Structure 1
Amino acid sequence: MADPVRRDPNDAWVECTCGSRHWGLAGAAGLALVDRATRTVALQLRSARSHQGSTWALPGGAIGTGETPLQGALREASEEADIRADDVVPDVVSVLDHEVWSYTTVVAHVARDASATSRPVLRPLDGESADLRWVDLDEVTDLPLHPAFATAWPRLRVLADAGPTLVVDVSNVLGARPDGWWRDRAGASSRLLAEIGTAVSPSGPGVPAAWFGLDAATAWPRTVAVLEGAARDATTTVPAPGARFEVVRAPGSGDDAIVAAVEAVTADGSGPVVVATADRGLQGRLPPGVRTLGPGTLRKRILEA
């Protein structure tokens, strides 16, 4: 049975402590791209000539030299299925870590704006794909799956529905650190928004998926930052292409705007939701199941971005 094509120094087998050998000296990565409109996921039928061929799995392969796992997953999806990076909005990453080797699964959804009516057309561009197909999320297990993918799928199936959202009580987060923010509330809010935007951008480091109760490593949540009072004059820019970052300038009570934002997310079935605030009064108004995050925990993470 033929080895995968070697295109990079990292394209080689690793003899793993688990007793198996795995492809990719720097680990491997795959893309679980979900179309939420049709509740399907893009799968690849591996070539019969490949390792454990004639089974269905995710587009993926060895992480290249200098690549992050996200970059590697996107490149492999492009090379094997003609999925463009612009079609992909990452949600979370799940990591299978064998110490000497790891596999990172990027769980993402299809990017759609108001004018988009269709999902990407999957096309095999190399010899590694015998077929490509959008498969109903609830019918994946009906296919002959690659053994490792079959083991991972129950956890990935949960993550496919995740869609995490982070709502930030900007005034409360600012007030948690006495750094003189009150002398220029709009300026301090602008800086905080920039820090948050950098962290949650698809090109940024993301935030811990554990914040959202997810069995995964990292999340890039949709983020809603709520401003009130003098902070409404804060300046904002889109952090990066593909960033789902919304700023709400509350006309009155910031707490009212936060509750409304959370209720809108939970009403359409999205979730889980985390609100960054230490305001106990606000916490008591949130719908059941909504998690809260301390301002200090948020600031520590975003300052590392």
Structure 2
Amino acid sequence: MSDGDGWVTLPDGSRRWGRFGSAGLLLLAPEGREAGGSHVLMQHRAVWSHQGGTWGVPGGARNSDETPVQAALREFGEEVAGDPGGMELVGLHRQEHTVWRYDTVLARAVSGERLEAANWESDEVRWVGVGDVPGLRLLPAFGTTWPLLREALGERLAVDVDASTVLPAGADEDGASVERLRDDLAGLAASGVAAGALPDGIVGAGLHRWFPRIRLFVSAGAQVPEPVPGVEVVCTRPEGAPDPPVEAEPADGVRTGVLFVTGRGDAAGGRGVHTVGPSWLAAAGALPVAARRGPVAPET
């Protein structure tokens, strides 16, 4: 028995499962997995279970030593059989009930292998077209948040970082310094960015945390480190040539908001791009960039 198993009574007298809250995974099918538009993986809850016979997402109680993402992924692995080929995290939505909370983790499947119910907690799991979800008998709490979650599935956050202006002068040519920055950024990609740390309007849906795609731009001639999970490393063009365009290009119907981190005062991002200074990385809550650079002037 996990230490998270148990009921919590809400102020209105209703009960929720999970002493430390619960978490579930809303998985979007890879593009082309199903004909007729985007699909999400839905779980038909076993009739004997709490609010049984309704449809929701795989999930369950969070243990005391787990993050919401860890709990959602563990529960998914316990309740769904098959290999989604890896997942790309998108964001997290939280329903707060004073003494209990439910975290919905949004992710995209990498490949489209067949997935099915793995245990007795589900009568069925199957891919459902996003337009067909409201027609199911939904778990009431999921039905309340579905319109917001559906909108969020069409949103993406990208963070592009200019190493030459984030690191001290000349340090972007030092392979060890760039590797440390890359690893810091990988931590940011894994932990996510709180919605409150983002400029207004960069992403439209009301998630509480976003897991960004990160590109690290390294000067031509510098030692270019290998990419790591969560961070793509891009070599910029030789000095005097324009940098690669940093624009939010729609892809597969997904609107991407780009946050361009640079110290250049003349940086004017492309479409859908918001430019911030290096101190944003420290303010985002994951990177010791400001400590490596020394005091950072306030951003304007």
**In the aligned structure 2, how far is the partner of 1:66 from the partner of 1:254?**
51
Q: Is the 8 A contact 2:83 2:115 kept in 1?
A: no
Aligned residue number for residue 185 of structure 2: 196
CA distance in 1, matches of 2:240, 2:48: 59
Given candidates 112, 125, 137, the residue that maps to 1:144 is 137
Query: Is the aligned partner of 1:302 residue 2:286?
Result: yes
C-alpha spacing 1:298/1:197, structure 2 compared with 1 (3 Å): same
Change (3 A) 1:252 1:15: same
Classify 1:72/1:20 alpha carbon distance in 2 versus 1 (closer, same or farther; 3 Å).
same
Give the helix-richer structure, 1 or 2. Answer: 1
In structure 1, which of residues 30, 39, 42 is the aligned counterpart of residue 24 of structure 2? 30
Q: State the secondary structure of the residue aligned to 1:302.
A: coil
Q: How big is the shift at 1:182?
A: 2.9
Instruction: Tell me how far apart the structure 2 counterparts of residues 255 and 93 of structure 1 sit (CA, whole Å).
Output: 39
Deviation at 1:304, TM superposition (A): 6.1
Question: Does the CA contact (< 8 Å) of 1:78 and 1:84 recur in 2?
Answer: no
What are the equivalent positions in structure 2 for 1:246-261 lying under 5 Å apart? 246-252=232-238, 256-259=242-245, 261=246
- 3-state SS, counterpart of residue 132 of structure 2: helix
Distance in 2 (alpha carbons) for counterparts of 1:122 and 1:184: 44
Partner Cα separation in structure 1 for residue 133 and residue 163 of structure 2: 42
State the shift of 1:226 in Å. 0.9
Paired-residue identity, %: 33
2-side partners of 1:57 and 1:173: how far apart? Answer: 43
Query: Is residue 2:11 matched to residue 1:21?
Result: no
* Map 1:70-85 → 2, pairs under 5 A: 70-82=69-81, 84=83
Structure 2 gaps, min length 5? 290-300
AA of the residue aligned to 1:276? V
Q: Which residue of 2 aligns with 1:115?
A: none
Query: Using the alignment, how far apart are the partners of 1:72 and 1:84 within structure 2?
Result: 18
Query: Where does residue 208 of structure 2 map in the other structure?
Result: 217
Q: Distance between the aligned counterparts of 1:10 and 1:60, measured in 2?
A: 13
Could you tell me the TM-score, scaled by structure 2's length? Answer: 0.83
* CA contact 1:78–1:85 (8 Å) conserved in 2: no
Q: Does 1:235 align with 2:222?
A: no
TM-score, normalised to structure 1, is: 0.81
SS in 2 for 1:96: strand
1:193–1:236 Cα contact (<8 Å) kept: no
Q: Give the letter for the 2:279 counterpart.
A: G
Alignment partners' CA distance in 2, 1:207 and 1:49: 38
1:60-84 superposed Cα distances (whole Å, 9 cap, x missing partner): 1101242221111111111112255
How far has the Cα of 1:281 moved from its partner? Answer: 2.5
In 1, the alpha carbon distance for the partners of 2:94 and 2:184 equals 26
Counterpart Cα distance in 1 of 2:235 and 2:26: 35
Q: How many residues align?
A: 276
Provide Cα deviations, 1:276-301, integer angstroms capped at 9, x if missing partner. 12434322x512x3222321011343
- Distance in 1 separating the partners of 2:169 and 2:224: 12
CA RMSD between the two structures = 2.5
